[in-house]
Amino acid sequence: MSEFADDVQAVFESTGADEATAATAAEKLAAFREEYDEELTADAVEQQFADAPDEAFVHAYDWLVGHLAAANDDCTDSREYRLEGFDSFAADPEVGA
């Protein structure tokens, strides 16, 4: 795992996420960072995560990813970076591929 992912995992664990969930979320966020926002820092993640309107970690994390994606014109679909990315109500990611 990268230094960014390690730092973000620590941030997520400090908010009460279990180690496995925090690690998965950190890896997904590191992939988002690599693809769309190389300047994203663990400090920025911590500050923005604190503003999440939901206390449940998964929902707060998914809000964070949506918030980061909305601020990035190149990211039009953030579901692959979310913990609850593709579900039965979401579009099939293979359609049109």
What are 34-57's pLDDT values in tens digits?
999 999 999 999 999 999 988 899
Domains held by the chain: number: 1
Please give the pLDDT value at position 93: 53
For the four alpha carbons of 84, 10, 27 and 29, in that order, the dihedral sign comes to positive
Position 32 confidence tier, pLDDT thresholds 50, 70, 90: very high
The answer as to whether 47 is a domain residue is: yes
Distance of alpha carbon 65 from alpha carbon 28, whole angstroms: 9
Position 76 confidence tier, pLDDT thresholds 50, 70, 90: confident
pTM: 0.84
Q: Of the candidates 34, 90, 41, 39, which has an alpha carbon nearest to the alpha carbon of residue 62?
A: 90
The answer as to whether 86 is a domain residue is: no
Position 92 confidence tier, pLDDT thresholds 50, 70, 90: low
The answer as to whether 94 is a domain residue is: no
Q: Is there a contact between 12 and 25 (Cβ–Cβ < 8 Å)? A: yes
Per the structure, the complete domain to which residue 32 belongs is given by 3-81
